[in-house]
Amino acid sequence: MNPATRALEANRTDKLREMFREHFGTSARIFRAPGRVNLIGEHTDYNDGFVMPVAIDFATWVAGCANETNSIRAHSRQYNETVTLNLDSLEGPPTGHWSDFVRGVVYGLLQAEQKIVGADLLIDGQVPLGSGLSSSAALELATATALQAISHAQLPAIETVKICQNAEHTFVGARCGIMDQFISQFGQAGHALLLDCRSLEPIAVPIPHGVEIVICNTMVKHELASGEYNRRRADCEEGIRILQNFLPGVRALRDVSLADLEAHRTSFPERIYHRCRHVVTENARTQQFADALTRGDLLTVGRLMAESHESLRADYEVSCPELDAMVQSAAHCEGLIGARMTGGGFGGCTVNLVHADCTEAFAKRVAADYFRATTIEPCVYSTTAAQGAGEVNDDATQVRSRGAR
Ligand code: GLA
């Protein structure tokens, strides 16, 4: 973290403590967990495949303190609303309310036999909501980190990640993979993580010197997002069932080569074939991308990002006109290394790798071109690769990070 950013974050820490005191009348400890951007490896995590996310500078912050009751009182700054969750009656279906994330995490921690105590939480989410930068994983991890610290509980970090993922399945109704929660917990400053979603073993790959990560927010979120996401998962599962008739050893699309898929193409409904082809080729691209980034072969990096976007657009059908327009706008800008949609799709953001000395001009030009194409004013953010979840000191340094496993 550079000194200017640290000063800003220290200011944020002071403000949060002050707000907490105003709201709950006591002092608090401060925790944060970052959002993420995925460089490549999209819709592969729930197929036991490879992903390559980066934790970003935007985080969800939680100020918290034990409250000697049997309840969690959580106040969201963004929604300006307080909810009270009784530790003995957390079960229930998704309600669509922001507190479902908190409820799911607390429930998961209790199920894992952690002695979570009643606590007051002030939640300040900085990750743009609904923009595909994992504001939900950031909220889950920040909550889980705070509650464990306050309760003197400490699960292995990977268990915390799984509890947060499960909270989303059970309390929110989104059958997400493990990528977002994993990187929010284990993110490493200056690095992307090449994560094998089967073994859950990450390899840290440094972001090369002189390469900047620029996120372009299309500012649209199409309604279909969560329903279509679950449908894509179901399509992949159907693909596996078909392949298992010929290849009984196959457990997930991770185990399938393009040659296997082509050999049995006639057994697939057209849509399922295309879904599987995206996953199989994306897994290969992700591993090639990690190699190319390590070697500093930025031409290959850019080509693989372009191919990933095209595969998500044409085979997986999770892009949308605005994401395509943003990628096309970036293609005309000086300094671009590579651009593609990032996250689940149907809106949200693109991720761009840009030569650092061109970042400012790039941001202006891409925003202007996108506006010309869509009449929508985008947001463009430049981010470093940040550290995963942890407690924060007064000077905004992290007390303890469980980034290294
Ligand atoms: C969402 C999910 C992730 C992952 C991506 C697509 O962000 O939460 O688990 O599946 O979509 O790569």
Candidate of 38, 44, 45, 282 to mutate for ligand 1, largest count of ligand atoms within 8 Å of Cβ: 45
CA distances 231 to 165, 235, 236, 390, Å, are 18, 6, 9, 34
Residues 347 and 227 in one domain: yes
pLDDT at 395 over 80: no
pTM for the whole structure: 0.96
Q: Is 155 in the same domain as 215?
A: no
DSSP 8-state class, residue 128: P
Asked if residue 378 has pLDDT above 50, the reply is yes
Q: Which pLDDT value is given to residue 404?
A: 41
Q: How far is the centre of ligand 1, averaged over its atoms, from the C-alpha of 401 (Å)?
A: 24
pLDDT at 377 over 80: yes
Q: Do residue 155 and residue 276 come from a single domain?
A: no
Structural domain count, the chain: 2
Angstrom distance (rounded) from CA 108 to CA 405: 21
CATH number of the structural domain spanning residue 357: 3.30.70.890
> Is there a single domain that holds both residue 243 and residue 191?
no
CB 312 less than 6 A from any atom of ligand 1? no
Band the pLDDT of 136: cuts 50, 70, 90.
very high
Residues 227 and 189 in one domain: no
Atom of ligand 1 nearest to the CA of 41: 12
Is 260 designated active site?
no
Question: 75 and 132 share a domain?
Answer: yes
CA distance 302 to 279: 19
Same domain, 285 and 231: yes
Give the distance (Å) from ligand 1 centre to CA of residue 132: 9
Q: Are residues 358 and 248 both part of a single domain?
A: yes
Residue 222's pLDDT band (cuts 50, 70, 90): confident
**pLDDT above 70 for 140:** yes
Q: Is the CB of 341 under 6 A from ligand 1?
A: no
- 22-80 per-position pLDDT tens digit: 999 999 999 999 999 999 999 999 999 999 999 999 999 999 999 999 999 999 999 99
Q: In whole numbers, what is the pLDDT of the chain averaged over residues?
A: 95
CA of 196 relative to ligand 1 center, distance in Å = 14
Same domain (yes/no): 169, 272: no
Cα separation, 235 vs 227, whole angstroms: 12
Atom of ligand 1 nearest to the CA of 46: 10
Q: State how far the Cα of 169 lies from the Cα of 177, in Å rounded to an integer.
A: 9
**Alpha-carbon distance 23 to 264, whole Å?**
62
* Amino acid letter, residue 22: E
Active-site residue, selected from the candidate residues 180, 235, 255, 369: 180
Cα(180) to ligand 1 centroid in Å equals: 7
Helical axes 179-186 vs 135-150, angle rounded to 10° = 50
Query: Dihedrals φ, ψ of 396, to 5°?
Result: 70, 10
- Shared domain for 285 and 198, answered yes or no, is no
| Cβ 369 vs Cβ 219: under 8 Å | no
197 and 272 in a single domain? The answer is no
pLDDT at 403: 46
Residue numbers of the domain that contains 148:
3-206+386-401
Mean pLDDT, rounded, for 389-405: 70
User: For every residue of 334-395, which 3-state class applies, written as one string?
Assistant: CCEEEEEECCCCCEEEEEEEEEHHHHHHHHHHHHHHHHHHHCCCCEEEEECCCCCCEEECCC
Confirm if 312 and 340 have CB atoms less than 8 A apart.
yes
Structure tokens at 353: 């790798």
CB 151 within 8 A of CB 117: yes
CB atoms within 10 A of CB 93: 9
Q: Tell me the CATH number at 28.
A: 3.30.230.10
Domain check: are 8 and 144 in the same one? Answer: yes
Instruction: List the structure tokens of 251.
Output: 């457990």
Is it the case that residue 405 has pLDDT exceeding 50? no
